[in-house]
Amino acid sequence: MLRGGKELWLALLAGILITGVYGAVVVFTQRIPAAGELFGHLLGVFGFLLMLMTETLYSLRKRTRSARWGKMSSWLQFHIFTGLVGPYMVLLHTSWKFNGIAGVTTLFTVIIVISGFIGRYIFTRIPRTLDGLEIEGALSESALRQARRLMSLWHAVHIPIGMVLFVTAFVHMGGALYYATFLK
């Protein structure tokens, strides 16, 4: 379950390892990796793939309603893990420059991660079974209703931010690949 925070520790561990590799590249090359060169590019592509998995896999599992594909709570843990590690790799990809649509995409990425933490907090306030389904009667009726209302309000923010983020990300990728990669 989410309460143990295992996915946060694993994401922290992955973040430390990635920082180690990034640090080694900086020390070795004596400069910040450029977003359009091999290492910076790989960070962007892999980070973005993890973000795409974050956007799609948990929602797909949630809609299949079949336990055959694994527990929902495990998929949410995976969602949070990839939702933290992906954005972190993408942040290192930026080479710490935030111009234009790419900068806007980074801003949305930061916002969705912060919003994710808020959602995770509300989510863990609602008593659930191991598969992430709500347990009726475990909270007083009014507290449960309030938590549910808060969660659906939160969904109405988190989901559109994700959609806008992917639209700007694809525009950035198209532009960056065209101007910085193919026209070189």
The CA–CA distances, whole Å, from 71 to 27, 78, 116, 135 equal: 42, 11, 20, 16
* 33-72 footprint of ligand HEM as x/- string (CB under 6 A): --xx----x--xx--x--x--xx--xx--x----------
Residues 6+ apart with CB under 8 A from 95: 32, 33, 34, 35, 40
- By C-alpha distance, which of 115, 109, 112, 114 is closest to 94? 109
Among 159, 160, 167, 178, binds ligand HEM (CB under 6 A): 159
State how far Cα 78 lies from the chain centre. Answer: 10
Nearer to ligand HEM, 24 or 110 (CB): 110
Backbone angles phi, psi at 96, to 5 degrees: 65, 30
Rounded to an integer, what distance in angstroms lies between the CA atom of residue 3 and that of residue 140? 20
Judged by CB under 6 A, the chain residues 70 through 129 that form the site for ligand HEM are 76, 79-80, 83-84, 86-87, 90, 93-95, 97-99, 102-103, 105-106, 109, 112-113, 116-117, 119-120, 123
Rounded to an integer, what distance in angstroms lies between the CA atom of residue 132 and that of residue 65? 11
Q: How far is the CB of 28 from ligand HEM (least distance, A)?
A: 21
Where along the sequence are the contacts to ligand HEM (CB under 6 A)?
35-36, 41, 44-45, 48, 51, 54-55, 58-59, 62, 76, 79-80, 83-84, 86-87, 90, 93-95, 97-99, 102-103, 105-106, 109, 112-113, 116-117, 119-120, 123, 158-159, 162, 169, 172-173, 176-177, 180-181
